[in-house]
């Protein structure tokens, strides 16, 4: 299965993907993690990517897709993967469709994690105290939220039209959110895709 997680910063994409890795036995591919790994290299590319991340801006679509495609070629992705935070623009969604098309498969499900904005900020500021992610500061969080609204939210309509979208109420405990996701996957497995 190939499942996409869409949601604003702090929605719980990473948290839920980690849980699903165990349940489904397929890897989590987070483009945020991949880009932070590139950033940590002392290279010109790493520094350039780092400037995007620290400003809360998206990295360029084609670069992201090139990095992601390399991972998708890994053997561990043969039976599927959890796409955590990618695609994040309509252009990326098209590039991903183009990548999958010759392989004869595509995205099976798209989860849209919905959480009120105030709660997102609260979660990320709390995480900042523990993890020190360079983009978890109020100003950058606000920039990331704006990027989500302008560049990523239009993707929801793209997947809704293709009947892949499943909306999840992310405003509850991680366990309750996971239960919704697990039920939706069961529903899909029973051949009822498109009825969300
Ligand atoms: P990325 O690393 O993907 O960050 P993000 O989208 O801003 O989201 P976060 O990782 O902050 O939140 P999350 O939804 O994963 O929530 P989490 O589970 O961690 O991307 C970083 C940057 O990389 C982007 O800004 C961009 O620059 C670049 N980038 C990445 N992908 C890109 C792409 N495709 N194209 C271009 N650029 C790209 O949870 C957050 C916190 O809340 C945690 O502390 C967690 O413990 C807590 N929490 C989670 N769920 C709950 C719950 N139910 N109740 C209470 N607390 C909860
Ligand atoms: Mg994350």
| Residues 144/9, Cβ–Cβ less than 8 Å | yes
Q: How remote is the CA of residue 11 from the centroid of ligand 2, in Å?
A: 8
Instruction: Using 70 as the pLDDT threshold, list the residues of the chain that sit under it.
Output: 192-196
CA of 85 to the centre of ligand 2 (A): 7
- Which listed ligand is nearest to 121 at the C-alpha? 1
> What is the percentage of the chain residues whose pLDDT exceeds 70?
97
Q: What are phi and psi of 56, to 5 degrees?
A: 75, 20
- How far does residue 194's CA lie from ligand 1's centre (Å)? 27
Atom of ligand 1 nearest to the CA of 33: 2
Distance 116 CA to ligand 2 centre (A): 17
- Pick the atom of ligand 1 nearest to 113's CA: 14
Among protein residues, the one whose CA lies closest to atom 56 of ligand 1:
123
Which pLDDT value is given to residue 189?
Answer: 87
What ligand is nearest to the CA atom of residue 124?
Answer: 1
* Substitution site in 12, 50, 64 for ligand 1 pocket (most atoms within 8 Å of beta carbon): 12
H-state helical runs in 25-163: 31-40, 44-55, 61-72, 90-100, 117-131, 138-147, 154-161
Q: Is the pTM of this model over 0.75?
A: yes
Distance (angstroms) between ligand 1 centre and the Cα of 9 equals 4
Q: Interior CA angle at 14 toward 104 and 175, to 5°?
A: 110
Ligand 1 pocket by Cβ (under 6 Å): 7, 9-15, 30-32, 35, 52-53, 56-59, 64, 85-86, 88, 92, 123, 127, 135, 144, 173-174, 177
What's the pLDDT at 196? 42
CB hemisphere CA count around 186 (13 angstroms): 7
């Amino acid at each position: 299965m190939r499942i996409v997680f869409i949601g604003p910063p702090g929605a719980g994409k990473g948290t839920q993907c980690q849980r699903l890795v165990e349940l489904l036995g397929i890897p989590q591919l987070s483009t945020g993690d991949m880009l932070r790994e590139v950033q940590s290299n002392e290279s010109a590319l790493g520094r350039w990517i780092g400037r995007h991340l620290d400003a809360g801006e998206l990295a360029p679509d084609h670069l992201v897709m090139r990095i992601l495609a390399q991972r998708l070629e890994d053997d561990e992705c043969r039976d599927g993967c959890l796409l955590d935070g990618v695609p994040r623009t309509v252009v990326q969604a098209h590039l991903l469709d183009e990548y999958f098309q010759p392989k004869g498969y595509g995205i099976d499900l798209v989860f849209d994690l919905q959480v009120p904005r105030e709660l997102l900020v609260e979660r990320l500021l709390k995480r900042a105290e523990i993890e020190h992610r360079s983009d978890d500061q109020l100003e950058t969080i606000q920039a990331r939220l704006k990027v989500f609204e302008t560049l990523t939210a239009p993707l929801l309509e793209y997947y809704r039209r293709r009947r892949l979208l499943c909306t999840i109420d992310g405003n509850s405990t991680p366990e309750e959110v996971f239960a919704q996701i697990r039920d939706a996957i069961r529903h899909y497995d029973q051949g009822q895709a498109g009825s969300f």
